[in-house]
Amino acid sequence: MNLFLKSATLIDASNTSLHGKKRDILIKNGKIEKIASRLEAVSGYKEILLDNLHVSKGWFDSGVCFGEPGFEERETIANGLHVAAASGFADILLNPNTAPKPDSSSHIVFLKERASGQSCNLHPMGTMTARAKGEHLAELFDMQNVGAKAFYDFKTPITNANLLKIALLYAQNFNGLVCSYPMDNHIKGKGLVNEGEVSTKLGLKGIPALAEELQIARDLYILEYTGGQLHIPTISTAGSVKLIAAAKKKGLNVSCSVALHHLCLTDAILEEFDTDFKVQPPLRTPRDVKALIKGLENGTIDLVTSDHTPIDIEEKRIEFDNAAFGSIALENSFGVLNKIFGKEKAISLLTKGRKRFNIAEPELKEGALACLALFNPEGELTYDVAHSASTSKNSLYKNMPMHGKVYGSINNGRLVLNP
Amino acid sequence: MSQLSVNHLLGIKYINKQDIDLIFETADHFKEVINRSIKKVPTLRDITIANIFFENSTRTRLSFELAEKRLSADVVNFSAGQSSVKKGETLIDTVNNILSMKVDMVVMRHPNPGAGIFLSKHVNASIINAGDGAHEHPTQALLDSYSIREKLGDVKGKNVVIVGDILHSRVALSNIFALRLQGANVKVCGPKTLIPKYIESLGVGVETNLVKALEWCHVANMLRVQNERMDISYFPSTREYTQQFGINKKLLDSINKDIIIMHPGPINRGVEITSDVADSDQSVILNQVENGVAIRMAVIYLLASKIK
């Protein structure tokens, strides 16, 4: 594939000579051949001329769900990766949210094979415990050898503290990354939404911030004892940000992410009992949103994940108590982050985090493989989920204004553009 | 003629003070009707109402059915125990199947909060919420306020304490909304484990001492402990609960004024209330039941008038 990107503004803060500059880019056989102020069109190169085209390194998301195997009606790997590529992503970390759950090397191999030949790279996570039951460690070393990038019992807390201790110790032999979902299930009880004024008014069982913070405090104590590295996906409260900040100050090797929706929505939106807003951890309060944004700005929070979770309509168009948790979000990552932080910080967040998961960093320079996100940071568009490329349409971003527009991506020698 | 501001009665928080006044004025008329020798009016002869109960109910269901029949509506009853729900049918399918038999109005009780709101968005009928989980039970709150109004002349400015399991109670929540809307002062009283942490955000006070609560109030609404909604024990034993939050004649007599005792039923005699209190002159428990029919007639009548 040979491409000629015309008048693209490059966004790459790590490269001061190119950052913010308008350049023409030639891509030959999937590699960046030439970056220059002005290049002439060359025959045999497809010319890409898009309004206010901006280009950055391809984006990374540390927590995405599809449905294959087991829930193909939600999303297949192939279509999921197409949605990711069209949304600017070059690498995604796949949550172990399948049936069966990936707890052995053969599962990891299967996932990687199903994803081969796609524009966006899929990096699987394995479960931390066998069948994610929280009883015995899965074969972490074996899974890592075939490509598992981290170990996570997806959104299932490790209730046995000793098991987390063992996992953190054991994974150090091969530099494995253990993930722990921040929720104390006993405090959570049957809670569905944030405990607060809204849950009280709606008669919905609440999950206090305490449930998340208690688990994080416990995990950090264990990490301090064991050493090793811990990742805490999708923190959602102001108290959690404080706990992580203190742990980092102490020098603990801990990272964490926040889900995109926790940066732009609060539990007030639940007043109509709309199941599209049922997510876990639950939507919290304006105070939490403010603290999470600040945590990202000052580096306490390492990553933003879309927490993309396709759920088919049969599990959403039912009573609130019975509906499944989650929302699709890959298509909204840039629009939301660009609106909150502006394009430079948004791109910085979208290109951050590969190193933590031992995933190769793309480069934006001549001779490098072309791994690029294509977008226009200007303009406001209302997100219409009916036009989503995702198989499932469960979106809490429905009808939300998005700032800027993603054109698509170039990766693995493929160009994916939104219609 | 005045009309309600809503097409469904999904909860007290979705209506306004004028709606409550209109419902009470209409209920006054119907209360007179149900005390006549001929207790029936032909008003809703062309209306069909389905009572759909996904949770057990005796008095609410009977009260609705009686209200519907006294308005001459056609009534069909449905309970989840005998239905396709057990075979996996969704709520929307169940209700749409019933509606395709040309039903105009649905009275629904459901174990999940928000079920009535969900239904109102997906089916084409007027919905009355007869209790949705721990969310709302609007007709109960209306009949409770109506009973206070009947006894004390007005709800405004009165001190009302709701005693018991506030955490799991739709009656408590709807009563709080209704009483606040009408200008009453509200406190909740019970073990801290059964009082939502953020209840004060609804404009109510919290009192954990029953004697102090009773001394403060004009009306005490005693709630049942909803063991069926509890995942763990929120207090050690019924005996200990009764010691702290049960009302008995001795306690009632020690209060230096005649307060009104209410209970939405079913009563656990000897737990939250003793028989001598439940059956005393200060108790309006049976008036509440009678007023329930008048209130439900008023609600059904007013919503039906919006269908026509």
Specify the CATH number for the domain of residue A151.
Answer: 3.20.20.140
Instruction: List the catalytic residue out of A103, A267, A288, A307.
Output: A307
A211 to each of A181, A182, B51, B195, how far by Cα in Å? 11, 8, 39, 18
| Number of Cβ pairs < 8 A linking chain A and chain B | 70
The reply to whether B263 and B142 lie within a common domain is: yes
Q: How much is the average pLDDT of B70-75?
A: 97
Domain count, chain B: 2
Cβ–Cβ contacts within 10 Å for residue A2, how many?
15
Question: Does a structural domain hold residue B5?
Answer: no
Which of A188, A275, A319 is the mutation pick for testing B, counting most B CBs within 10 A? A319
- Residue A110: which residues within 8 A CB-CB, separation 6 or more? A69, A102
- Residue B226 annotated as binding site: no
C-alpha dihedral, A47 to A52 to A55 to A59, nearest 10°: -120
The reply to whether B75 and B56 lie within a common domain is: yes
Domain count, chain A: 2
Q: How much is the average pLDDT of A322-334?
A: 97
Question: Residues A32, A365: contact at Cβ < 8 Å?
Answer: yes
Max alpha carbon distance in chain B (Å)?
58
- Residue B28: which residues within 8 A CB-CB, separation 6 or more? B294
pLDDT value at residue B212: 97
Q: How much is the average pLDDT of A78-85?
A: 98
Asked if ipTM goes beyond 0.90, one says yes
Q: What is the mean pLDDT of chain A?
A: 97
Question: Does a structural domain hold residue B248?
Answer: yes
pLDDT band at B256 (very low <50, low <70, confident <90, very high): confident
Question: Does a structural domain hold residue A49?
Answer: yes
Cβ of B113 within 8 Å of Cβ of A201? The answer is no
Residue A38 touches partner B, C-beta closer than 8 Å: no
Question: Residues A128, A171: contact at Cβ < 8 Å?
Answer: no
**Burial letters for B136-156: b for 16+ Cβ neighbours within 10 Å, e otherwise?**
bbbbbbbbbbbbbbbeeeebe
- Residue B229 annotated as binding site: no
SS3 at position B106: strand
Question: Does a structural domain hold residue A333?
Answer: yes
**Burial letters for A97-113: b for 16+ Cβ neighbours within 10 Å, e otherwise?**
bbeebbbbbebbbbbbe
Residue B134 touches partner A, C-beta closer than 8 Å: yes
Catalytic annotation on A302?
Answer: no
**Does residue A262 carry a pLDDT above 90?**
yes
Question: Does a structural domain hold residue A208?
Answer: yes
SS3 at position B270: coil
Question: Does a structural domain hold residue A395?
Answer: no
pLDDT band at B91 (very low <50, low <70, confident <90, very high): confident
Q: Which domain holds residue B215?
A: 138-288
- For chain B, positions 71-110, list CB contacts with chain A under 8 A: 90-92, 110
Residue B202 touches partner A, C-beta closer than 8 Å: yes
Question: Residues B184, B158: contact at Cβ < 8 Å?
Answer: yes
Question: Residues A109, A146: contact at Cβ < 8 Å?
Answer: yes
**Does residue B82 carry a pLDDT above 70?**
no
The reply to whether B41 and B24 lie within a common domain is: yes
Q: How much is the average pLDDT of B138-148?
A: 98
CA-based radius of gyration for chain A: 21
Among A177-186, B73-82, B234-243, the range scoring the smallest mean pLDDT is B73-82
The reply to whether A108 and A197 lie within a common domain is: yes
The reply to whether B183 and B280 lie within a common domain is: yes
C-alpha dihedral, B300 to B92 to B110 to A270, nearest 10°: -100
Percent of chain A with pLDDT over 90: 99
- Residue B60 annotated as binding site: yes
- Residue B3 annotated as binding site: no
Q: What is the mean pLDDT of chain B?
A: 93
The reply to whether B121 and B227 lie within a common domain is: no
What are the pLDDT digits (tens) for B20-65? 999 999 999 999 999 999 999 999 999 999 999 998 888 899 999 9
The reply to whether B260 and B159 lie within a common domain is: yes
The reply to whether A178 and A303 lie within a common domain is: yes
Chain A residues close to B178, C-beta within 8 Å: none
Chain centre distance of CA B225: 15
The reply to whether A224 and A256 lie within a common domain is: yes
Q: Three-class SS string for chain A? A: CCEEEEEEEECCCCCCCCCCCEEEEEEECCEEEEEECCCCCCCCCEEECCCCCEEEECEEEEEECCCCCCCCCCCCHHHHHHHHHHCCEEEEEECCCCCCCCCCHHHHHHHHHHHCCCCCEEEECECCEHHHCCCCECCHHHHHHCCCCCECCCCCCCCCHHHHHHHHHHHHHHCCCEECCCCCHHHHCCCCEECCHHHHHHCCCEECHHHHHHHHHHHHHHHHHHCCCEEEEEECCHHHHHHHHHHHHHCCCEEEEEEHHHHCCCHHHHHHCCHHHCCCCCCCCHHHHHHHHHHHHCCCCCEEECCECCCCHHHCCCCHHHCCCCECCHHHHHHHHHHHHCHHHHHHHHCCCCHHHCCCCCCCCCCCECCEEEEEEEEEEECCHHHCCCCCCCCCCCCCEEEEEEEEEEECCEEEECC
Which of A187, A193, A201, A275 is the mutation pick for testing B, counting most B CBs within 10 A? A201
The reply to whether B256 and B303 lie within a common domain is: no
Question: Does a structural domain hold residue B108?
Answer: yes
Cβ of A206 within 8 Å of Cβ of B136? The answer is no
Cβ of B91 within 8 Å of Cβ of A273? The answer is no
The reply to whether A328 and A224 lie within a common domain is: yes
Question: Does a structural domain hold residue B3?
Answer: no
Helix (H) or strand (E) holding B52: strand B48-53
CA–CA separation, B80 vs B84, rounded Å?
8
The reply to whether A82 and A194 lie within a common domain is: yes
**Does residue A235 carry a pLDDT above 90?**
yes
- Residue B205 annotated as binding site: no
Among A415-419, B98-102, B122-126, B198-202, the range scoring the smallest mean pLDDT is B98-102
pLDDT value at residue B110: 94
Q: Helix, strand, coil proportions of chain B in percent (round to 5)?
A: 45, 15, 40
The reply to whether B145 and B96 lie within a common domain is: no
Closest CA to A400 of A274, A303, A228: A274
The CATH number for A375's domain is 2.30.40.10
Question: Residues A38, A354: contact at Cβ < 8 Å?
Answer: no
**Does residue A188 carry a pLDDT above 80?**
yes
Q: Identify the DSSP state of B77.
A: E
What are the pLDDT digits (tens) for A54-72? 999 999 999 999 999 999 9
Q: Which domain holds residue A253?
A: 58-357
Among B101-105, B146-150, B164-168, the range scoring the smallest mean pLDDT is B101-105
pLDDT value at residue B87: 63
Chain A nearest-CA distance from B114, in A, is 6
The reply to whether B261 and B281 lie within a common domain is: yes
Question: Does a structural domain hold residue B132?
Answer: yes
**Does residue B99 carry a pLDDT above 90?**
no
Question: Does a structural domain hold residue A237?
Answer: yes
**Does residue A257 carry a pLDDT above 80?**
yes
**Does residue A306 carry a pLDDT above 80?**
yes
Question: Does a structural domain hold residue A203?
Answer: yes
Chain A residues close to B170, C-beta within 8 Å: 203
pLDDT value at residue B83: 57
Residue B135 touches partner A, C-beta closer than 8 Å: yes
The reply to whether B272 and B144 lie within a common domain is: yes
Q: Please report the beta strands in B118-204, taking only residues with DSSP state E, as ranges in sequence order.
A: 126-132, 159-163, 185-189
The reply to whether A47 and A99 lie within a common domain is: no
Question: Does a structural domain hold residue B1?
Answer: no
Nearest CA in chain A to B93: A318
pLDDT value at residue A244: 98
Among A123-137, A248-262, A273-287, B66-80, the range scoring the smallest mean pLDDT is B66-80
Nearest CA in chain B to A193: B113
The reply to whether A20 and A128 lie within a common domain is: no
**Does residue B154 carry a pLDDT above 70?**
yes
The reply to whether A306 and A337 lie within a common domain is: yes
Question: Does a structural domain hold residue A385?
Answer: no
Question: Residues B159, B189: contact at Cβ < 8 Å?
Answer: no
- Residue A159: which residues within 8 A CB-CB, separation 6 or more? A134, A185
pTM over 0.80: yes
pLDDT value at residue B1: 58
**Does residue B211 carry a pLDDT above 90?**
yes
Question: Residues A371, A411: contact at Cβ < 8 Å?
Answer: yes
The reply to whether A8 and A120 lie within a common domain is: no
Dihedral sign from CA coordinates of B53, B59, B62, B67: negative
pLDDT value at residue B84: 60
Residue B143 touches partner A, C-beta closer than 8 Å: no
The reply to whether A142 and A227 lie within a common domain is: yes
Q: How much is the average pLDDT of A311-338?
A: 96
The reply to whether B115 and B216 lie within a common domain is: no
Which of A187, A197, A273 is the mutation pick for testing B, counting most B CBs within 10 A? A273
- As a residue count, chain B comes to 308
Q: Tokens at residue A42, please? A: 């060359």
CA–CA separation, B170 vs A351, rounded Å?
48
The reply to whether A31 and A63 lie within a common domain is: no
Q: Checking phi first, is residue A307 left (phi over 0); if not, alpha (psi -120 to 50) or beta?
A: left
The CATH number for B116's domain is 3.40.50.1370
Question: Does a structural domain hold residue B7?
Answer: no
Question: Does a structural domain hold residue A384?
Answer: no
**Does residue B90 carry a pLDDT above 90?**
no
Q: How much is the average pLDDT of A181-197?
A: 97
The reply to whether A70 and A159 lie within a common domain is: yes
pLDDT value at residue A17: 93
Nearest CA in chain A to B10: A272
pLDDT band at B86 (very low <50, low <70, confident <90, very high): low
- Residue B59 annotated as binding site: yes
**Does residue A255 carry a pLDDT above 60?**
yes
- Residue B7: which residues within 8 A CB-CB, separation 6 or more? B126, B303, B306
Nearest CA in chain A to B120: A272
- Residue A228: which residues within 8 A CB-CB, separation 6 or more? A168, A169, A171, A172, A178, A253
Question: Does a structural domain hold residue B259?
Answer: yes
The reply to whether B77 and B186 lie within a common domain is: no
Residue B205 touches partner A, C-beta closer than 8 Å: no
